[in-house]
Amino acid sequence: MAVTAFGKKLRKLRIEKDLLLKDMAEHLNISAAQLSAIELGKRSISSDIVSRLIDVYKLENVDEINDIVAISQPTQKVDLTDATDNQKKLMVTFARSFTELSDDRVEEIQKLLIGN
């Protein structure tokens, strides 16, 4: 499994602060194994860990970090409580096939959904 965008951000921060993985994990009050799993996208990134990261390292680019966290999560949850049956079918169909989409097709769909 590849390092996530959040994992790259953590590694860059560790290098800048001259820290080992175990040192950063200790600062964030998690195990080194858990931090490694988060970096590799094998484990979800909790809001508590993000908050501690921002507080401990006095990070100012909170919006950027939250964006990176969102794209680095190994799973995404969608609340379909208020969705119609057709909307639910569309979501399931999309979920089953989206990893097979080419980058060009992804851009087309994004433009359609965002309206750009």
pLDDT in tens, 5-46: 999 999 999 999 999 999 999 999 999 999 999 988 899 999
pLDDT tens figures, 50-72: 999 999 999 999 999 999 999 89
Q: Record the pTM.
A: 0.71
**Rounded CA gap, 9 and 61, in Å?**
12
Question: What average pLDDT does the segment 68-88 reach?
Answer: 92
CATH class of 5-72: mainly alpha
CATH 1.10.260.40, the chain: domain bounds: 5-72
**Which pLDDT score is estimated for 116?**
63
Residue 35 makes CB contacts below 8 A (sequence gap 6+) with 10, 21, 24, 25, 28
